[in-house]
Amino acid sequence: MVVKVLIVEDQALVRGAIAALLSLEPLFQVVAEAANGKAALQSLQSLPDELQPDIVLTDIEMPDVTGLELAQHLKQARPEIKVVIMTTFSRAGYIRRALELGVKGFILKEAPSDYLVNALKKVMNGQKVIDPELAINALDDADPLTDKERKALRLAEEGLSTAQIASKLYLSEGTVRNYLSEAIAKLGASNRIDAARIAKQKGWL
């Protein structure tokens, strides 16, 4: 059996290196590469049935649609696809959200190449591949933000005004202000930028 993989990573060199690595393994076939979650969803729509992936191997921090947002979409729309996260960050908030979204693996980018290959094999055999210590840390650090608060904070961190955030999220400015105020209060922050910094440190953004 050949395991079909879709690689989602915004850094072209990293994406190419992972594709080259997996192409050396007879078990794996890289069916597509994407620079972010939005492009990955477009690839899934355009790929023929015989090239639909068994595994989506995705980074977390990407423009447009993040890896966790992609995982959330796949959980709802394509639950048969196994999602494996790869990241530079071992932030507890990322791992907790990934576990809640049914992600099957969480791999740090600095891991050896054979670890990645073996992890994907284990995932295809029905196992989860997440470092136990990281998983325990994640369960001890609950994310207090709602999805809307998180999206508003992420856009605030990018320097967008309340009006611009409202336009992006198709909400009123008053609603956006409420989301940001709630997030600031929950995180004990002094302002929206401070709240975004705290949330990003925790892996909640």
Rounded-to-integer distance, Cα 106 and Cα 125, Å: 16
Q: Which domain holds residue 194?
A: 147-202
CATH number at residue 161: 1.10.10.10
Phi, psi of 50, rounded to the nearest 5 degrees: -70, -10
pLDDT tens column, 163-175: 999 999 999 999 9
Q: Which of 139, 164, 192 is the last residue of a domain?
A: 139
| 123 neighbors 105 (Cβ within 8 angstroms) | yes
Residues 135 and 151 in one domain: no
Rounded-to-integer distance, Cα 202 and Cα 205, Å: 8
The count of domains in the chain is 2
Q: Which of 90, 113, 139 is the last residue of a domain?
A: 139
Q: Radius of gyration (Cα) for the chain, nearest Å? A: 18
pLDDT score at 82: 97
pLDDT tens column, 154-197: 999 999 999 999 999 999 999 999 999 999 998 888 899 989 98
